[in-house]
Amino acid sequence: LCRLLWCHMAWKDIYEQVCETLVGFGDAAVEPLVGVLKARRFTWESDAIDLGWVGGGIFRVLGQIGDARAARPIEKLMGSSMIPAVAKDEGAQALGRLRRENRHGKKVESLLKKLSDERPIIRSIAIEALGKSGDPRATEALLEMLGSEDEAAVALGRLGGDQALRALVAHLKSSLDRQVHPRSAFAAIQGLGESTDRRVLPVLTTIAVGARSAVARRLAVEAIQNVEDRAPPDLPSAVQAGPATDD
């Protein structure tokens, strides 16, 4: 795939598909791509058009993958006067993204450590911040806290994604079926209300019209309004409806 990046602009569609595929490989693509950059670093001047196109693509892919290992090699090449302008533009954007990702990653790692803090207030603050982080690494940690920390349900709803939303629906169904821990069920309803995915609406509608608990019905109505206010239109409804009763 790295060799295919040497396609000329006449093969732009293939080139773009290769870039997308390499991004999909994630961290596994970083070392091969960095190796390509190092191998070609002294030949930019002799083939500026070709290498400007290829180098720019590699910079772009590395920036989108977001692995900090790529920052130093890109910085070294960006310091060369032989780098074509098209590659320098992509390199500058990649470095900006990598630096942001690095700062963000360190912050998320710090928050994840705080989830095991003995002080409830510290755990609560960390859970809320992780929910706002948009980082998928937080999902697994928050799933482990679902049921024991009410804030985890709300944070998972904000994070979104199929894994988090399906877990919230399953947790809500389990809580209502067992008729225990109503606060946990209420938190799951509020968590679904934090989602921007319209697929949760059938679940919330079932609760709003059929739950025995007045609190659950009210929370479901509020959650439906929240989702409708923020969610983009016309997403498929793939999440199965939840239970109709609640204590």
Dihedrals φ, ψ of 65, to 5°?
A: -65, -40
Measured CA distances, 219 to 48, 72, 179, 226, 233 (Å)? 61, 50, 17, 10, 22
- Number of alpha helices (DSSP H) and beta strands (DSSP E) in the chain: 12, 0
- The pLDDT assigned to 63 comes to 83
Measured CA distances, 48 to 19, 43, 54, 55, 87 (Å)? 20, 8, 10, 10, 10
Cα angle: 54, vertex 73, 4; to 5 degrees: 25
- The pLDDT assigned to 137 comes to 79
pLDDT mean for each 10 residues of the chain (247 residues)? 58 73 81 75 47 72 79 75 72 79 70 88 89 83 88 90 90 76 85 90 92 89 91 54 45
- Residue whose token pair is 């509608």: 205
Taking the C-alpha atoms of residue 24 and residue 17, their distance in angstroms, rounded to an integer, is 11
Task: Write down how long the chain is.
Answer: 247
Residue pair 239/227 in contact (Cβ under 8 Å)? The answer is: no
- The pLDDT assigned to 81 comes to 67
- The pLDDT assigned to 68 comes to 73
- The pLDDT assigned to 101 comes to 66
Q: Is the pTM of this model over 0.75?
A: no
Taking the C-alpha atoms of residue 208 and residue 216, their distance in angstroms, rounded to an integer, is 7
Tokens of 3: 């060799």
